Structure 1
Amino acid sequence: MNQTFDIHRFVLMLRLEIAEKGRNYLLMAGVMLFTLLALMVPITLSHEYNNFRAIMHFAALFMVVLFGGSLYTSGAFAQYSQQSSGIAALMVPASRIEKYLSSLLLNLAFVIPFLAFFWQFHYWATDYANSVIPRSPDEYKYIPRDFFDYTVCSYFIIQAAVFLGSIYFKKYAYIKTAVAVILFTTLLSYFNYDLGNRLGDKPNKITAFPLSGWKMWFYPEMGQPRPRYIVGYYHVTHSEVMSYAVQGFAIWLAVMLWICAYYQMKEREI
């Protein structure tokens, strides 16, 4: 088979992907959309501030980041997981790059809108909820900007990692990929936590996520007539240049994982 890229074959390959996976993707989209609305709509139905309803938006964000990309992506190369379907997939008269790009493009066509929908609906729902509750010191607030940057980067890294895992592992791809990602994230989180703990002179409490800044709390020293410091909270963030560097690294890592997935597909044996 000619391995050069041909736009006509690519369109036909994309139509084949939609025919084979479109229905399942739409069903999962319906479940995800219902879950997000169930978590995010309640703040618009109340005429007073409710902290629990505000926290539900964080739960929705967790759902999007953890499942929005991974559930779809885990089946991106499902046709290669079994011998019968794998042989048929390899025999399709299309180049490897056409098969690869059709899977990636269809996957991103469902994955990206979920993240965009969450943030757009979050901003709208927060504004609407604040417009209907009485004026008071308590009001709904947007999820912080650093969460936005961090979740967008994490979202695409998770998607790319699961995309690679779906073709790298022949059996139980989703479970094996999840274990690998969790182990890597745990090690990276511990390194970042230990670094912040050492540089912060051992704060009483510290929150540190992989490739993020540090949130530190210092409490008064007990048993002293005059504490060395009062209760303090410090949020140590990256500089603007460092923030761009971290975001660039996230993009580079996602692209590298996509490239690795392509080479794994080229070498796939059934």
Structure 2
Amino acid sequence: MNNSFNYTRFSLLVKRQWVENKKLFLMASFALWGLGVICYSLGINWEMGHISDAVQPMYFIGSLFIGGTFFTNYIFKDFSDKNASTNFLLIPASHLEKLLSACFYCFIVLPIVFSTLFFIIDYFFVNFANSVHESLVLKNHLHDESWKDNELWYRQLLEKTNIALKSIIGAWFIAQTIMMIGSMMFIRWSYIKTAFVAFAIIFSLAILSNYVFDFFVGEFDKLAEGSKRGIFLQVEPTKDFLKMLTGIAIKFIFTPILLLIAFLKLKEKQV
């Protein structure tokens, strides 16, 4: 099997994945919906009609990252068993088609389904809480500014913190691709092993980042001081500048690199 892409084979592979797992996908969607209802129900002050500020980001980000990585781990569940792994690798499709099929469900279907469920729940509870608050204000003639109307969370993201939204999306894509690689690397307990290795690496990098930034800033300062022609005088990187470059890499560079590693790992396992 060569590594070419054929749309017919790819569509059949996507359909096969759906036919084999549609019941579980629907059950998982219902579970996410139920979890959202519980989180919002516990986070509402029913007497005052106020939703806690922590409920919306906690449910959205937590469920998206934890649920998303569990879903990705499940998509590559065949690699946890040698026999199932062999059957998966013997499917008449190229390495690229198999990876793209997984990416279709992990990067397109999952966020669409989850975002739809989240915004339906968010819309319902926000409007319900605001109606409770409005009736309370009208009934008691309250004018307390501390109880303002609740906002839909997508408005808070888009209007107040567009940078944070891009960072969340970039980090989520990286988490998904890391889980892809880990699911193919570890035979048993792949989710736990991948999460442990990922957290260890991220924690180590977070500790070392300040030292690395200081080193690069210091080295550029030395070059600027030692340059007779002033070539380096215009290059004055700061920690903030290096952090900005790191953020750009997280958003746009790491995910393609990790996907390439996943592709090579899948190709390595192909029989």
Q: TM-score, normalised by structure 2?
A: 0.69
Q: Secondary structure at the match of 1:177?
A: helix
Contact 1:73 1:159 in 2 (8 A): yes
TM superposition shift of 1:111: 2.5
1:137 aligns with 2:160: no
Contact 2:72 2:106 in 1 (8 A): yes
The amino acid across from 1:137 in the alignment is: E
* Residue of structure 1 in register with 2:184 after alignment: 167
The amino acid across from 2:247 in the alignment is: V
* Residue of structure 2 in register with 1:256 after alignment: 257
TM superposition shift of 1:262: 0.9
Q: Which has the higher contact order (CA 8 A, sep 6+)?
A: 2
The amino acid across from 1:161 in the alignment is: I
Q: Could you give the per-residue CA deviations for residues 143-179 of structure 1, whole angstroms, max 9, x where no partner exists?
A: 6525433322222221111122111222221011100
TM superposition shift of 1:190: 3.2
Aligned mates of 1:269, 1:116 — CA distance in 2: 34
The amino acid across from 1:254 in the alignment is: T
Superposition pairs of residues 84-163 of structure 1, within 5 angstroms: 84-113=83-112, 116-117=115-116, 120=119, 124=123, 125-126=125-126, 129-130=129-130, 132-133=132-133, 134=137, 135-138=143-146, 139=148, 140=150, 142=156, 145=161, 146-163=163-180
Contact 1:39 1:56 in 2 (8 A): yes
TM superposition shift of 1:59: 2.5
Contact 1:166 1:174 in 2 (8 A): yes
TM superposition shift of 1:44: 6.8
Quick one: structure 1 residues 45 and 79, their matched pair in 2 at CA, closer, same or farther if it must change by over 3 Å?
same
Aligned mates of 2:243, 2:130 — CA distance in 1: 34
Quick one: structure 1 residues 81 and 243, their matched pair in 2 at CA, closer, same or farther if it must change by over 3 Å?
same
Aligned mates of 2:245, 2:121 — CA distance in 1: 25
Q: TM-score, normalised by structure 1?
A: 0.69
Q: Could you give the per-residue CA deviations for residues 16-56 of structure 1, whole angstroms, max 9, x where no partner exists?
A: 111223322222222122112221356678351547x3322
The amino acid across from 1:67 in the alignment is: I
The amino acid across from 1:157 in the alignment is: I
Contact 2:37 2:121 in 1 (8 A): no
The amino acid across from 1:23 in the alignment is: K
TM superposition shift of 1:195: 9.4
Contact 1:57 1:122 in 2 (8 A): no
Quick one: structure 1 residues 106 and 119, their matched pair in 2 at CA, closer, same or farther if it must change by over 3 Å?
closer
Q: Which runs of 5+ in 1 are unaligned?
A: 197-237
Identical-pair percentage: 18
* Residue of structure 1 in register with 2:216 after alignment: none
Aligned mates of 1:60, 1:109 — CA distance in 2: 20
Contact 1:77 1:167 in 2 (8 A): yes
Quick one: structure 1 residues 108 and 45, their matched pair in 2 at CA, closer, same or farther if it must change by over 3 Å?
same
Quick one: structure 1 residues 50 and 97, their matched pair in 2 at CA, closer, same or farther if it must change by over 3 Å?
same
Decide which of 161, 181, 184 is 2:201's aligned counterpart.
184
Q: Which runs of 5+ in 2 are unaligned?
A: 138-142, 214-239
Aligned mates of 2:35, 2:206 — CA distance in 1: 29
* Residue of structure 2 in register with 1:207 after alignment: none
* Residue of structure 2 in register with 1:268 after alignment: 269
Aligned mates of 1:4, 1:194 — CA distance in 2: 44
> Which of the pair has more CA radius of gyration?
2
1:32 aligns with 2:13: no
* Residue of structure 2 in register with 1:13 after alignment: 13
The amino acid across from 2:99 in the alignment is: Y
Q: Which moved more, 1:115-124 or 1:97-106?
A: 115-124
The amino acid across from 2:38 in the alignment is: A
Quick one: structure 1 residues 60 and 171, their matched pair in 2 at CA, closer, same or farther if it must change by over 3 Å?
same
Contact 1:73 1:107 in 2 (8 A): yes
Aligned mates of 2:28, 2:118 — CA distance in 1: 19
- RMSD of the TM alignment (CA)? 3.5
